[in-house]
């Protein structure tokens, strides 16, 4: 299968399976077996053991949502630069959602969730295979809530395109558009257009410059304002007049 869109490589090969445990797991398996071409997409109508961040589970009702993984070989990136993949994936998903919800407040919640208002509409799980100082392969797992209206897991504040707009969407068409946005951002990254990508990501960051309560891994609760995200992906928070930096998992919103 292939998507009908204007990309050069992302979504030119689509392995679509009616049912799958996890598209990320399947993608990782086939990379090790037969090195699929760059841009190959694994998608399913019914993902039964969707993987989320920090070992969580990703809920997705059959036939209702986008659950797909894109295989990339970003050999031009070093391990230290791997956050760039979170940045471009967030930008791609953000742009897709925003194109259908132009009047809503759509934001990128660090490191790579997409929110509408204070509700999560999409999650991203990136699994990289490293080789020395480089990235050998990357699986970009994208879960976007599209037509699902009820959520049963303990996912915090989920929402979907249908809940936000009252409309029903064509999953395949949206997936094809998502590939276009992802390819555009990936090619910008490859062409080293870092400033543009970084500015876009920072500008749309959830709760930037808003006073918020955070909790650290060590259970310290403090108030601060998000100022941005540095090149390595650390969240920069102004706390009591001082800038402090947190890696993923070191801090979360209360």
Closest CA to 67 of 91, 87, 43, 88: 43
Calpha distance 138→124 (Å, rounded): 13
Q: How far apart are CA 176 and CA 16, in angstroms?
A: 13
Does residue 56 bind ligand BTN (CB under 6 A)? yes
Candidates 74, 141, 158, 228: give the one binding ligand BTN (CB under 6 A). 141
C-beta separation of 236 from 229 below 8 A: yes
Q: How far apart are CA 189 and CA 205, in angstroms?
A: 19
Residue 97 host element (H or E): helix 83-100
- The yes or no reply on residue 67 touching ligand BTN (CB under 6 A) is yes
52 or 134: CB nearest ligand BTN: 52
Q: Is 53 in the site for ligand BTN (CB under 6 A)?
A: yes
By beta carbon distance, the residue nearest ligand BTN is 123
Q: Does 89 bind ligand BTN (CB under 6 A)?
A: no
143 near ligand BTN, rule: CB under 6 A: yes
> Does the footprint of ligand BTN cover residue 61 (CB under 6 A)?
no
Integer Cα distance of 196 and 41 in angstroms: 26
Compare residues 179 and 244 and give the one whose CB is closer to ligand BTN. Answer: 179
Stretch that binds ligand BTN, among 61-69, 146-154, 173-181, 225-233 (CB under 6 A): 61-69
Q: For ligand BTN, which residue of 38, 59, 113, 177 counts as binding (CB under 6 A)?
A: 113
Distance of CA 176 to the CA centre of its chain: 16
Whether omega for the bond prior to residue 85 falls within 30 degrees of 0, making it cis, is no
Adjacent-strand bridge partners of 24: none
Is residue 51 a contact residue for ligand BTN (CB under 6 A)? yes
Residues with Cβ within 8 Å of residue 132, at least 6 apart in sequence: none
Single residue of 3, 15, 28, 50 touching ligand BTN by CB under 6 A: 50
Using the rule CB under 6 A, is 134 a contact of ligand BTN?
Answer: no
Contact between 158 and ligand BTN by CB under 6 A: the answer reads no
Identify the bridge partners of residue 88 per DSSP, sorted by sequence position. Answer: none
Smallest separation, CB 52 to ligand BTN (Å): 3
125 binds ligand BTN (CB under 6 A): yes
- Name residues whose C-beta falls within 8 Å of residue 251's C-beta, 6 or more positions apart in sequence: 214, 215, 216, 217, 235, 237
Whether 33 contacts 71, CB under 8 Å: no
Q: How far is the CB of 240 from ligand BTN (least distance, A)?
A: 30
Residue 70 contacts ligand BTN per CB under 6 A: no
By CB under 6 A, name the binding residues for ligand BTN. 22-24, 50-53, 56, 58, 67-69, 113, 123-125, 141-143
């Amino acid at each position: 299968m292939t998507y009908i869109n204007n990309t050069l490589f992302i979504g030119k090969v689509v392995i679509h399976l009616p049912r799958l445990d996890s598209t990320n797991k399947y993608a990782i398996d086939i990379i090790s077996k037969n090195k699929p071409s760059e841009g190959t997409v694994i998608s399913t109508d019914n993902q039964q053991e969707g993987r989320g961040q920090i070992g969580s589970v990703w809920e997705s009702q059959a036939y209702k949502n986008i659950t797909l993984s894109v295989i990339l070989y970003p050999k031009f990136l070093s391990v230290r630069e791997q956050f760039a993949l979170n940045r471009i994936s967030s930008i791609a998903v953000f742009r897709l959602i925003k194109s259908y919800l132009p009047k809503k407040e759509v934001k990128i919640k660090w490191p790579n969730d997409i929110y509408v208002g204070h509700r999560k509409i999409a999650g991203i799980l990136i699994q990289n295979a490293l080789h020395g100082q480089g990235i050998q392969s990357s699986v970009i797992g994208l879960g976007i809530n599209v037509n699902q209206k009820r959520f049963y897991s303990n996912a915090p504040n989920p929402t979907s395109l249908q809940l936000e707009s009252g409309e029903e969407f064509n999953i395949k068409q949206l997936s094809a558009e998502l590939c276009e946005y992802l390819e555009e951002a990936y090619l910008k990254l490859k062409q080293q257009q870092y400033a543009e990508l970084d500015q876009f990501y920072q500008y749309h960051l959830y709760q930037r410059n808003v006073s918020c309560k955070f909790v650290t891994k060590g259970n310290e609760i403090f108030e601060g304002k998000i100022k941005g995200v540095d090149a390595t992906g650390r969240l920069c928070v102004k706390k009591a007049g001082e800038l402090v930096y947190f890696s993923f998992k070191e801090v979360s919103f209360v």
